[in-house]
């Protein structure tokens, strides 16, 4: 039975402070007051900047006495220049915080602007390697509020920003505990206008986050539990959200699944992401859709290490065949139902740069938490299988 969406509401503090529920974007002025922000810079993407939801937010903040500015000069796969330009806008406007409002790109750029606004070192000095994060002046990091408008990346609760470094064409993770927003407004009503294809792509991104977190070999039972329920929500509600984008309950459960995925993947990710990051950087593909393409090939590659775990997952989400094969068959059927391309070729990726992609994938931080060890050779094998559609 579909619940009343009005009941899908709550204030949570895990891992960040979250105000969840339809209509809660109207509480944005109160959110700014709560964290002491008086002159926010609202960061969004160029498409959203033209829509009523952004104009309403800016007008509402101005009417409430806030000196709000707007920055929207960013790319779908954001690059370092977008952060630099945003920091310049932040300083010109004498802003005291950031509202990151939009999909994963806007959230990542908004968080990075808030982080970098008070730093003197280059952005890349804070790449998520070793203890680089300790180089930051933590006291100079501006506060941020996140307002997601898609249900996929979960960046609203993340401690990293994923930014492409232009010189090397590599997606780089910028990490610091205070990159995580001080407050998150999850309003599923903001996702009602998402088209079918984007709903599917972002939903599969949420699925990939939960799935890879669950399969990671590291010890984190809390993350496992969150990931299990996140996958169950995807199974029950993603097809509904794609088929009927006006179903507010489906939108709410998918927004919860998205946030759960990003909460769970503090345990780790894997080859789906180590491959998707370089493909997205070089071919500008949608991250969620790229994850969806790689998913079954990575599952098969990892089978020897995860078969028992996947069987438990299949039983939990109610598949008729509680087995690895039953789960794989369901994944393939879900991809087909949602219109996910079956191969890299179908996604528009050619096979001319596999050596380069394999090297980039091995260097990606996600590779280290894959259930089966990865290197250039195995990443190349996965690229070839995904290009050919070979699941044996």
Question: Rounded to an integer, what distance in angstroms lies between the CA atom of residue 117 and that of residue 87?
Answer: 5
In this structure, the strands spanning 40-43 and 10-13 are unpaired
pLDDT at 72: 96
pLDDT in tens, the chain (392 residues): 677 888 888 887 788 899 999 999 999 999 999 999 999 999 999 999 999 999 999 999 999 999 999 999 998 889 999 999 999 999 999 999 999 999 989 999 999 999 999 999 999 999 998 999 999 999 999 999 999 999 998 999 999 999 999 888 888 999 999 999 999 999 999 999 899 999 999 999 999 999 999 999 999 999 999 999 999 999 999 999 999 999 999 999 999 999 999 999 999 999 999 999 999 999 999 999 999 999 999 999 999 999 999 999 999 999 999 999 999 999 999 999 999 999 999 999 999 999 999 999 999 999 999 999 999 999 999 999 999 999 98
Cis? peptide before 15, omega within 30° of 0: yes
Q: Which residues of 165-196 are buried (b: 16+ CB within 10 A; e: fewer)?
A: eeeeebbbbbbbebbbbbbbbbbbbbbeebee
Instruction: Quote the pLDDT of residue 1.
Output: 67
Rounded to whole angstroms, the Cα distance separating 306 from 64 reads: 53
Sequence-separated (6 or more) residues with CB below 8 Å from residue 322: 311, 312, 314, 315
> pTM for this structure?
0.93
| Measured distance CA(379)–CA(160) in Å, rounded | 24
**DSSP SS3 for 44:** coil
Largest distance between two CA atoms of the chain:
61
All structural domains of the chain? 5-190 (3.40.50.1970), 195-388 (1.20.1090.10)
Helices (H), the chain: 28-35, 46-49, 52-63, 80-92, 104-116, 196-215, 221-243, 248-264, 271-283, 287-301, 303-316, 324-338, 344-347, 354-363, 376-388
SS3 readout for 178-222:
HHCCCEEEECHHHHCCCCHHHHHHHHHHHHHHHHHHHHCCCCCHH
For strand 10-13 and strand 17-20, is the pairing parallel, antiparallel, or unpaired? antiparallel
pLDDT of residue 239: 98
Question: Residues near 374 by Cβ (< 8 Å), separated by ≥ 6?
Answer: 271, 274, 361, 362, 367
> How far is Cα 312 from Cα 17, in angstroms, rounded to an integer?
31
């Amino acid at each position: 039975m579909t619940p009343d969406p009005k009941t899908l509401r709550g204030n949570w503090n895990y891992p960040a402070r979250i105000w969840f529920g339809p209509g809660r974007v109207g509480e944005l002025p109160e959110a700014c007051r709560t964290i002491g922000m008086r002159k926010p810079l609202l960061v969004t993407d160029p498409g959203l900047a033209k829509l009523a939801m952004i104009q309403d937010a800016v007008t509402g903040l101005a009417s409430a006495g806030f000196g709000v500015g707007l920055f929207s000069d960013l790319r779908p796969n954001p690059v370092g220049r977008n952060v630099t330009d945003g920091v310049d806008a932040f300083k010109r406007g004498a802003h005291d915080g950031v509202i990151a409002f939009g999909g994963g790109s806007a959230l990542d750029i908004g968080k990075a602007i808030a982080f970098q606004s008070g730093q003197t070192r280059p952005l890349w000095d804070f790449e998520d390697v070793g203890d680089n994060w300790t180089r930051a002046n933590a006291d100079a990091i501006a506060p941020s509020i996140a307002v997601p408008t898609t249900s996929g990346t979960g960046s609203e609760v993340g401690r990293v920003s994923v930014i492409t470094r232009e010189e090397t064409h590599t997606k780089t993770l910028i990490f610091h505990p205070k990159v995580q927003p001080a407050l998150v407004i999850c309003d599923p009503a903001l996702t009602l206008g998402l088209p079918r294809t984007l709903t599917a792509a972002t939903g599969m991104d949420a699925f990939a986050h939960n799935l890879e977190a669950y399969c990671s070999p590291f010890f984190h039972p809390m993350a496992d539990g969150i990931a299990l329920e996140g996958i169950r929500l995807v199974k029950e509600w993603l097809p509904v959200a794609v088929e009927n984008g006006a179903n507010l309950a489906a939108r709410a459960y998918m927004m919860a699944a998205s946030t759960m995925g990003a909460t769970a993947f503090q345990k780790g990710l894997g080859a789906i992401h180590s491959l998707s990051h370089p493909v997205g950087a070089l071919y500008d593909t949608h991250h969620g859709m790229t994850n969806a393409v790689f998913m079954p090939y990575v599952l098969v590659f990892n089978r020897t290490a995860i078969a028992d775990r996947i069987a438990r997952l299949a039983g939990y989400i109610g598949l008729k065949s509680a087995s690895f094969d039953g789960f794989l068959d369901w994944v393939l059927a879900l991809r087909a139902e949602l219109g996910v391309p079956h191969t890299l070729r179908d996604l528009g990726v050619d096979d001319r740069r596999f050596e380069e992609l394999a090297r980039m994938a091995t260097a990606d931080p996600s590779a280290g938490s894959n259930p089966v060890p990865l290197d250039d050779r195995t990443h190349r094998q996965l690229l070839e299988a995904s290009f050919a559609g070979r699941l044996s």
